[in-house]
Structure 1
């Protein structure tokens, strides 16, 4: 069936409908690359420590897992950099907090160290996401580095073949596109193993197909594959 056709009313639109990433538990696709991280997330509140660190490359699913956990436990999500201007004492009154991109703290090293100490005192759970382990963050606060080294961590691998194919199929379905499995195979073979890259490239394909009023075909995908490195800018 290779078509990639959508209802005719969508073919009349000249504008792409923006789709926000879906970060619910039902939208999280499990494979060997992320199963350990999901099990640890779902083990809360029986974590081995108040602090848990999720490590993985961009597009590995860290933010999705943080969103699943935050929704389950009622935690706020904030960026590492935002800690620099946050009221740390007020944050420590919460039962849980997720800090996304904790490896990009900027001026927030001292606030994070203070928060982690308060978390231990107040029995508060803190989930941190980062691209690398703390030794590679360039931290200038030895006590903070020591504290983070002691925190349990789990690493998400790059998406394996099964996960990448499943994600691509879902991304096209979310855009109301029925795509030949051979096209999924073609894309998976040529793009980086990153969920962010997959998401951006499917959006790029959809945008071009919509502008041309065409189906998603192998020819179109082959034409656009040279653009794949530009779609996540």
Structure 2
């Protein structure tokens, strides 16, 4: 019999000790760690959804005293106040709609004041849908550093951390099984762990490989149903 499950959110932890460094993100992590010794006050942090951009940006923001704002939330009214922050993070440049006039003024103010500015996106600047030539040219001047999809070791380590965060005990074979079958994305790992947590609570069952296999198959009809 299924039990009623209260879907209480588990807040992501964005502290420095929670960020797992691996070859896929080491270059970006090292560059942000070198702040304020940057060759340019602007930096573009690029990586796919769920790669850890927001986490790494939050670590830098804590060190730099930066304000964090979604790029799509910048307006003519908010830009002057944002430009007075000690530093600034513009999140998700490619997830509009973007008020390009306001963003252009903010970037200009940041350049004039040499305000440290970190902006993130999943796409290169030229593919962020920006139509204002002056804004596009300003952003192109920023050095760019990539976070790549997680390697096997990082994906497994993140899965373990996500299970621990939810106080779930699982066998390492379950972690290996999931890591071999999901999209190589930290965001996808979080979704799977949350779904397994709900499934375990609703059925009063431990999280085993058959449980993980059934859930993965429900989410993806092409998933491998075998349990070697």
| TM-score by shorter chain over 0.5 | yes
Task: Give unmatched runs, 5+ long, in structure 1.
Answer: 1-11
Cα displacement (A) at 1:179: 1.0
Alpha-carbon contact 2:71-2:98 (below 8 Å) kept:
no
Q: Which among 112, 121, 127 is matched to residue 121 of structure 1?
A: 112
Count, aligned residues: 219
Look up the match of 1:96: 87
> Secondary structure of 2:16's match?
coil
Higher relative contact order (CA 8 A, sep 6+): 1
> Secondary structure of 1:135's match?
helix
Q: Distance in 2 between matches of 1:53 and 1:138?
A: 16
Q: How far does the alpha carbon of each residue in 1:142-186 deviate from its partner, in whole angstroms, 9 at most, with x for none?
A: 111111111011011001001000000111111111211111110
1:25 aligns to 2:16 (yes or no): yes
Q: Which moved more, 1:171-180 or 1:186-195?
A: 171-180
Look up the match of 2:136: 145
1:69 aligns to 2:60 (yes or no): yes
Q: Which runs of 4 or more aligned residues in structure 1 lie more than 3 Å from their structure 2 counterparts after TM superposition? A: 227-230
1:1-233 equivalence runs, <5 A? 14-228=5-219
Alpha-carbon RMSD across the aligned residues, in angstroms, is 1.7
Alpha-carbon contact 1:57-1:131 (below 8 Å) kept:
yes
User: TM-score, normalised on structure 1?
Assistant: 0.89
User: TM-score, normalised on structure 2?
Assistant: 0.91
Q: Distance in 1 between matches of 2:159 and 2:77?
A: 38
